[in-house]
Chain A
Amino acid sequence: MANGTGELTVTGVNHSYGTGKIKVPVLFDINLHVDKGEFVALCGSSGSGKSTLLNLLAGLTKPDEGSIFVNGEEISRFSENELCLFRRRCMGFIFQSYNLLPNLTALENVELPLIFAGESRKSRRAKAKEMLERVGLEGRMDHKPNELSGGQQQRVSIARALVNQPSIVLADEPTGNLDSKTEQEILELMRRMNRENGTTFIIVTHEQEVAEQSDRVIYLQDGRVVQKRTKPA
């Protein structure tokens, strides 16, 4: 069902911020492997480099050194346009601040990735509706983001991330703006999607609950992977 296997491998990645003379090193010799269908939390204190790592995985920035393979393809060598097409086909994104387009309804926001993919109006509408029903927003399809609560907005953005049937979903602090009850609901939703679709989830978080409900937690400290803890079965 998903596009691609959902496997992810990082080998020998070094990365630093800034251009020219002043460079701030952020990541040192990162080596990672995430299996398909895994639900992985990426934890670490502020400034540990976890968001940078997520951006590298998404192909939004390119590593200074090392390679990143997603679905067996080395995305760190892709051109910008190839990356766009790759993201469109194989990746979904969930942000802390939802990042929905404010002038589009929930349904239209979910439809947007399919519009860029060139799907027909009828089929994308059906897919978006089905997706919104699956995240429990069947009654809110025609509402604009500012008419929805934070939790509902995040559900829309999860629907948007999954509507393309990507093999990997990258989430950046998806529950950071939510209260604990909603946080739990969103987390459960993501886990359900993970199970039902076999989609790989990589979630950047510093919240204990999220880490506890993951298959595996990767700790980052000062730009290095310090611990890979697998949740006891």
Chain B
Amino acid sequence: MKLLDSFRIVWRNLWRMKLRTALTSVGVMIGTAAIVAMIALSLGLKENAVKSLENFGNLTELDVQPAFFDYEKDEPIPDDQRKKLNMDAVREIKGISGVAAVMPIKRIQGEAKLKVGRREGFIEVIGVDALESAAYRKNDVEKGSYLSGSPQEIVVAYHVAGNLRDVEKERREARRRSADANRGGGAEMMPPRFGRGEEAPQSFNLVDKTATIVLTREYRIDDEPHFEKKEVRVRVVGQLRQSENRRYGNAVYAPLGLVKEMNDWLNRSRGDEFGDGGGSTRRTRETAQQDSFEFDEMTVKVESREKVESVVKALQERGFEVWSPARELEQINKFFFVIQIVLGGIAAVSLLVATIGIVNTMIMSILERTKEIGIMKVIGATVYNIRWLFLMESGFIGLIGGLAGLGIAWGAVELVNYFGEAGGIMSSLNIGFGGPEGEEKLRLAVIPSWLSLFAIGFSFVIGLLAGIFPAIRASRLSALQAIRSE
């Protein structure tokens, strides 16, 4: 018997008893819909949780610090045994398999402002090893290029430009506004102010401009605070693209050497200047001392999400403390796995009931068609033909139910997502991370394609399993007795 012919016969038989087929399928439909909807819901919740985490930082980036506390011995690690974040540590971490790059960071120990033309704003200066960090920061550059290694270059994060303000101009406008307000025309003046505030950051380009980093140090003479300023001229060579990681939104990346110089100045007492003349000799000396120099922090880039766990383990064994959203992700995964099991289990019970329903229907229809089976056997159907026909029949009942159930689950998911958005459930859950760029649609439930395929395949298999016993029964019918039955 040809496959297509057998399907044609099966379809005809199902169609002949369409009401019974439909009613039996409803059982599978409900079960499938329940399972798919529940898994979709938990997947959606998980996706949202993961997204929220991604807002805190890239999942393949780990922040590494020396461990301060030995949890096994339950005591703090003494200073001299603590790991140092120096070049040795960088080399050690680089040796761990799965590590793509190590980016040591040195922050400046004071306040810094960036000044470009008449605009200025506070920034966070982060010293990075230009060559080391280039490996994976290069891809994040939106405009211009990344640090080349020459000393007076900086790269700015996406939001830096937007945070620079033309202080003089704003002061002037504020004066004019208050004057306008006195004349009673305040309301008319509101829109342009808003417009400027929104548009200016995007249109303002920093790349290839000369900028000045303004450092301020405070010192006391006779308990009187005094402030001293120092200006460092730099060139902005690039701007990073907008990132979901908002932690470093206002960062300016500078070569480590530059940051070291700035820190030296900030920590030195008043009167010590590092002039351009003496600077060069000092700089060479510091390069030689690079190995004993300690960083504030190290960011370790892992090759892929899957390798994060093993890298974290290796780092901990070597005496480092690791913070990474990926570690929270692991907890989330465990939590949602349990939820999926529980929800899936409940739905599985309804599928079990549906399966019994299919078995019942099949046994009934075999009783009804006993004579027909006998005739088919006499005119040349083999035992395997009969078994195949009935297996396929019950498999198709499962398949029909599965398709219908998937459709219902899909509809339910769309509804939940629609009302979830309209009712603001997601926006209230999302408080804290949903900035202007967080407007990407957040879904409460998702049906990935693997889940659809799984649901269809699973319901078909359920049908097949339910059909095994009836099919064997049908094939064992004695042709002679079957043909005599009425």
Are A and B subunits of one complex? yes
- CB within 8 Å of B: which residues of A? 55, 58, 60-61, 80-81, 84-85, 87-89, 93, 95, 99-101, 103, 112-113, 115-118, 120-121, 160, 164
Majority SS of interface residues in chain A?
A: helix
B14 within 8 A of A: no
A73, chain B: closest CB distance, angstroms: 16
Interface centre among B9, B372, B384, B479 (most CB of A within 10 A): B479
Choice from A81, A113, A115 contacting B5 with Cβ under 8 Å? A115
B-side interface size class: 20 to 34
Complex alpha-carbon distance, A6 and B470, angstroms? 37
Complex alpha-carbon distance, A101 and B478, angstroms? 18
Q: Which chain B residues border A100 with CB–CB below 8 Å? A: 375
Majority SS of interface residues in chain B?
A: helix
Q: Which chain B residues border A88 with CB–CB below 8 Å? A: 379-382
Q: B480's closest neighbor in chain A, by CB?
A: A60
**In the complex the two chains form, is A116's CB within 8 Å of B385's CB?**
yes
**In the complex the two chains form, is A118's CB within 8 Å of B1's CB?**
yes
Complex alpha-carbon distance, A60 and B478, angstroms? 8
B84 within 8 A of A: no
Given contact pairs A103-B16, A118-B2, A112 touches B480 in the complex (Cβ within 8 A): no
Q: Which chain B residues border A81 with CB–CB below 8 Å? A: 382-384
Taking A85-B380, A85-B382, A88-B379 as given, write out 5 further A-B residue pairs in contact, using a Cβ cutoff of 8 Å, ordered by the A residue number: A61-B480, A87-B379, A100-B375, A115-B2, A116-B376
**In the complex the two chains form, is B483's CB within 8 Å of A116's CB?**
no
Complex alpha-carbon distance, A164 and B381, angstroms? 13
Given contact pairs A55-B480, A61-B480, A101-B372, A113 touches B16 in the complex (Cβ within 8 A): no
B342 within 8 A of A: no
**In the complex the two chains form, is B380's CB within 8 Å of A116's CB?**
yes
Q: How many A-B residue pairs have CB under 8 A?
A: 62
**In the complex the two chains form, is A95's CB within 8 Å of B483's CB?**
yes
Complex alpha-carbon distance, A164 and B385, angstroms? 17
**In the complex the two chains form, is B480's CB within 8 Å of A84's CB?**
no
**In the complex the two chains form, is B12's CB within 8 Å of A99's CB?**
no
**In the complex the two chains form, is B375's CB within 8 Å of A101's CB?**
yes
**In the complex the two chains form, is A60's CB within 8 Å of B378's CB?**
yes
Given contact pairs A101-B375, A115-B9, A118-B1, A164 touches B380 in the complex (Cβ within 8 A): yes
Q: Which chain B residues border A95 with CB–CB below 8 Å? A: 483
B349-391 CB contact bits vs A (8 Å, 1 = yes)? 0000000000000000000000110011111111111000000
Complex alpha-carbon distance, A115 and B480, angstroms? 21
- CB within 8 Å of A: which residues of B? 1-2, 5, 9, 12, 16, 371-372, 375-385, 478-480, 483
Complex alpha-carbon distance, A61 and B478, angstroms? 9
Ranked nearest first, the 3 interchain pairs of A and B with the lowest CB-CB distance are A88-B380, A84-B382, A116-B380
B237, chain A: closest CB distance, angstroms: 73
Complex alpha-carbon distance, A60 and B5, angstroms? 26
Given contact pairs A61-B480, A99-B483, A103-B12, A116 touches B384 in the complex (Cβ within 8 A): no
Q: Which chain A residues border B371 with CB–CB below 8 Å? A: 99
Complex alpha-carbon distance, A164 and B379, angstroms? 9
**In the complex the two chains form, is A116's CB within 8 Å of B378's CB?**
no
Q: B486's closest neighbor in chain A, by CB?
A: A97
Complex alpha-carbon distance, A163 and B257, angstroms? 96
**In the complex the two chains form, is A99's CB within 8 Å of B375's CB?**
yes
Given contact pairs A99-B371, A101-B372, A113 touches B1 in the complex (Cβ within 8 A): no
**In the complex the two chains form, is A93's CB within 8 Å of B383's CB?**
no
Q: Which chain B residues border A160 with CB–CB below 8 Å? A: 379
Complex alpha-carbon distance, A88 and B376, angstroms? 10
**In the complex the two chains form, is B379's CB within 8 Å of A93's CB?**
yes
Complex alpha-carbon distance, A112 and B377, angstroms? 11
**In the complex the two chains form, is B380's CB within 8 Å of A117's CB?**
yes
**In the complex the two chains form, is A87's CB within 8 Å of B375's CB?**
no
Complex alpha-carbon distance, A60 and B381, angstroms? 13
A157, chain B: closest CB distance, angstroms: 10
Given contact pairs A60-B480, A81-B382, A84-B381, A115 touches B375 in the complex (Cβ within 8 A): no
Q: Which chain B residues border A116 with CB–CB below 8 Å? A: 1, 376, 379-382, 385
Complex alpha-carbon distance, A139 and B371, angstroms? 28
Choice from B372, B376, B479 contacting A60 with Cβ under 8 Å? B479
